[in-house]
Amino acid sequence: MSYTLLRPAARGSAVRAVPAAGHHRTGLRAPLLTVLSFAVAAPLSILLSAIGERPYQTFELVVVCIAALAVGWVADLAGSVVVGLVFWLFFDGFDADRWGVLSWDGHTMIRLAALVAAGVVGAAIGSTVRALRREPSEDDNSPTPSG
């Protein structure tokens, strides 16, 4: 994606701003990522809350971690921490403690670390896949047989 910068020139020409060599945007930045995280975490949290309360939230944590990994897949690596934080807010407030009350107990740090790690791992995998798709393969550079 490139941007068009208008510079005040006599002819009113536009100059295309291109990223520096080797600096390609690989995923969504934090503002859009926050919106996407809320859009996925809120309905998922409502669904998991509607299922019913369990003595252990392991099932809910695994489901929310998978969703955070999926959202992290489209994330920029630097903004992927936002994914884990947003998912943790919904998990802690609506899945673990119900009624939107955030609390802090002995397992909260483990849940937070798991959700942030899921977002970061998803972003790392997604960035790697996008980088591999962007590189030209060796077959594209091979000469075509004539004759």
3-state secondary structure the chain: CCEEEECCCCCCCEEEECCCCCCCCCCECHHHHHHHHHHHHHHHHHHHHHHCCCCCCHHHHHHHHHHHHHHHHCECHHHHHHHHHHHHHHHHHHHHCCCCCCCCCCCHHHHHHHHHHHHHHHHHHHHHHHHHHHCCCHHHHCCCCCC
pLDDT higher than 80, residue 44: yes
User: What percent of the chain has pLDDT above 90?
Assistant: 29
What pLDDT does 119 receive? 93
As a whole number of angstroms, the distance between CA 58 and CA 61 comes to 5
Q: What is the mean pLDDT of the chain?
A: 76
In the chain, the N- to C-terminal Cα span, in Å, equals 40
- 122 in Cβ contact with 75 (< 8 Å): yes
What pLDDT does 1 receive? 46
The first and second tokens of residue 72, run together, are: 């992290």
pLDDT higher than 50, residue 47: yes
As a whole number of angstroms, the distance between CA 26 and CA 29 comes to 9
Separation in Å, CA 48 to CA 65, 90, 95, 106: 13, 11, 7, 22
Confidence of residue 55 (pLDDT cuts 50, 70, 90): low
Give the pLDDT confidence of 119-145 residue by residue, as tens digits. Answer: 999 999 999 998 888 876 555 555 555
Instruction: Pick 70 or 31 by higher pLDDT.
Output: 70
Give the pLDDT confidence of 9-35 residue by residue, as tens digits. Answer: 455 444 444 444 455 556 777 788 889
